[in-house]
Structure 1
Amino acid sequence: MKLETYTTPKVNFTINTVYWKLTKSDSFVPIITVVGKIDLDKELELLKFYFNDEFHDDSYYRIVDFSNLQNNTSHPFKLNYIYEDTFIFIKGNFVIEEKNVFDTELDAINYCSSLMRKKYFDGKIRIYDDKYNKPKFIEALNHIHFFSFEMKHDKTNKLGYFKITGEYPGFTNDIDDDILETKRFYSTLNKFLKFSQVRHVIIDITDFKYQYLDKYLQDFIPSYQDFDSNPAKLSYIINEDTDTTYGFIKNSKLFFSLDEALEILKIE
């Protein structure tokens, strides 16, 4: 077996986020702008995965601007699972099979404003325009990362290797940072499994120092397809003092080094 570095498939679009600050409210709504083009079905799937699994924000409403994105595939845009009104779209040349689709940013913002009317102190719907009541925007803050990931795969044998490095809780002593990092861990792991198409993954936690498992870092188990319940698809590389009572797939193979794991899995 030969593991090679895995890289996510390249895309021809970029994603940028700013936050619209609601007048007379402390609330913020992210406006996610996607610029570029989509030529391949896989690129479209990557974009859907971003909204479904990778965009970690506790805002209930999200405005997505597709006005500068060219869709060169024959498929419409539709998210696999979505709460009603969570996403509000600004269309470009996309065929969008969602209920909240508008022609301009102002139309989308004013619709979202009507949904947020209960958040205003005076209980009134604020209507924005280009002249007198312009919406205000702030740049998204950069998140501090204290987890890092290494991903490799053997294309021939459909074997994946996923290593997480870092510490939990993080050095920032901020619960919000901890929550975002754990979400990033799970989405990165699931994205690797989905787009690498490996059939077995080795998760290496030997350089990951965690004080405990909790409702945010619940386990080291992916949620993609049946990887969360099939020990034949998942192995772990752990330290000799790792407590495996909780957080691991029952009956999955446990190893103390990558060489040992590759040797045993090769025999099988």
Structure 2
Amino acid sequence: MEATDRASALNAREEPAPRAVFDMHCHLDFAPDVHEAGADAQEQLAGAFSVTVSPAGYVRAARELDSFERVRVGLGLHPWWIADGTCEDEVALFERLAPCERFIGEVGLDFGREHAARREAQLATFDRVVSACADGGKVLSIHAVRAAGATLDVLERRSALAGNVCIFHRFAGTSDELHRAVRLGCRFSINPKMLASKRGRAYARSIPEDLLLLETDEPSGEGAAYDAHAARLRLESMIDELAALRRAPRFELAARIAHKSAELLL
């Protein structure tokens, strides 16, 4: 075999197949045209977990995205919506819908400065959210800001960890909380903002490979444009960075993350 042929064969082995990346936490319903965003994700990605922030938003998004077989829509109740104190009807709707849904997200707790005043309301509501998922068989995408320990407390108290897959979106807890979550079998979806911080990179280096997932958290807000091609490039770039951080073969790491993502979504 000629040297150029050997190099081409080596490069082919090292590069993942097209669309072999999964976005395990995105907000396609934020896009101006939700159906178009779903079609774009279906074309560019191997799969996407599109979370929502409220049950009413879930109903709308599920209707728009139902035809895309590699896009999964999560039933959500974001802690920011809980923190505004106006969501009892939404909580009740979540409890009615949850028994029939496999994908749950975005849910969780946010004890950051802007939302800490409603800590007790958040805890009470998250307890109801987790209780609605306690029968198992679900995949949860979880938001936890200054609340990883409290989040794990609720999940353990309601015995929700054994029968469900719990994914921490952009984990930002303490090292002890990370070790606890790892021991309990939680997964972790890594995004570019996490890799931009020293602590985030340290966590991304130390999380067991079988628990690693990738996400973009895009679009960034209601009405923001969505570009699935750009999302795919961002996800592939994260694989490059993770492989370098972990000193792992890129192709093997990408394949492992894709396999674990496919087990959850497809």
TM-score, length-normalised on structure 2?
0.30
- Structure whose residues are more often strand by fraction: 1
Normalized per residue, which structure has more helix?
2
Larger Rg: 1
TM-score by length of 1: 0.30
Relative contact order, CA 8 A, sep 6+: which one is greater? 2
